[in-house]
Amino acid sequence: MLADVLCHDVSPLDEQYPATLIPLTFNSHGQQLVGRILVAQGIGPHPTILLLHGFPGDEQNGDLAHIFRRAGWNVMTFHYRGAWGSQGSFSFTHVFEDIPIALDLLRTHEMREQCRVDPERIVLIGHSMGGFAALLTAASDPSLHAVASLAGFHFGPFAQLLRQDASLHTSIVRDWKTCLPALRGISAEQLVQEVLDQAEQWTLDQCLDQLSQHRVFLLAGSRDTVAPPDLHHTPLVAALEQCPAPRIRSAILHTDHAFSDARVTLAQHLLSWLDEIK
């Protein structure tokens, strides 16, 4: 089955309910966001993934979206306020506010009718910042079916490092400036300050019990220099495993932050997990 999904198109074709791609625009806090939904073939209703990109979103995991659709899942992606053509100003706060709006959209009657979405089986999967955002959202939304984080960037522990190391603060501002062409209405200095200001709120340690109620999959890359597993992955896995009756799965692949040379392996891990929870 995995080989078919990874290497072959869906067959035979369902002429009445074919796979399709539908552009989306929707409103979040007075600003128009742009996105799209890949609709799986078949009458459905289909389990649906909200796939979240990172900061700024250079790796948008379009390959995974198509693979998931061939496996029978709808996949919605979108750009946060101020990112990649969506209206408004970018901030991490806006990211965390936009995601519940996108989930509300998926649960509407229109999405059930037009895109054959099953509102009872919505899974959040995010990469990097999007991985952290997926986990933070899941902790406050018990109705989500499951959540996965790919090389998730845990803001709380990172903020502690920023406070302790002035040279890290300087280098992060320099690095984040390279992300600004895809964003608008924000500076690298403002983003770093936002992380420092929200450090206590943006930690998963305070919501482990809520998060552990979900089926959770955490993946990381052993060669990740952006979200090193020792800081962003391994402590969270250990903490969740200490929760009562945890439903957590984890893996560390021998790859970098974008899973650049392990895309097939990444897809195999995710497909296996999705098949398990479907």
Closest CA to 148 of 271, 3, 2, 24: 271
pLDDT value, residue 12: 83
Cα angle vertex 199, ends 123, 238, to 5°?
55
pLDDT value, residue 3: 60
| Residue 88 maps to a domain | yes
| Residue 123 maps to a domain | yes
pLDDT value, residue 2: 64
Domain count, the chain: 1
Q: What is the DSSP letter of 207?
A: G
pLDDT value, residue 66: 97
| Residue 54 maps to a domain | yes
| Residue 181 maps to a domain | no
For β-strands 117-127 and 146-150, DSSP reports them as parallel
pLDDT value, residue 271: 97
Complete DSSP assignment for 59-105:
---HHHHHHHHHTT-EEEEE--TTBTT-SS---HHHHHHHHHHHHHH
- Report the distance separating Cα 40 and Cα 35, nearest Å: 16
pLDDT value, residue 107: 97
| Residue 190 maps to a domain | no
Tokens representing 47 are 């389990």
| Residue 183 maps to a domain | no
The model carries a pTM of 0.96
pLDDT value, residue 58: 96
| Residue 117 maps to a domain | yes
pLDDT truncated to tens, each residue of the chain (278 aa)? 566 677 677 668 899 999 999 999 999 999 999 999 999 999 999 999 999 999 999 999 999 999 999 999 999 999 999 999 999 999 999 999 999 999 999 999 999 999 999 999 999 999 999 999 999 999 999 999 999 999 999 999 999 999 999 899 999 999 999 999 999 999 999 999 999 999 999 999 999 999 999 999 999 999 999 999 999 999 999 999 999 988 999 999 999 999 999 999 999 999 999 999 98
Give the CATH number of the domain where residue 55 resides.
3.40.50.1820
| Residue 188 maps to a domain | no
Provide the residue range defining the domain that includes 54: 2-155+207-270
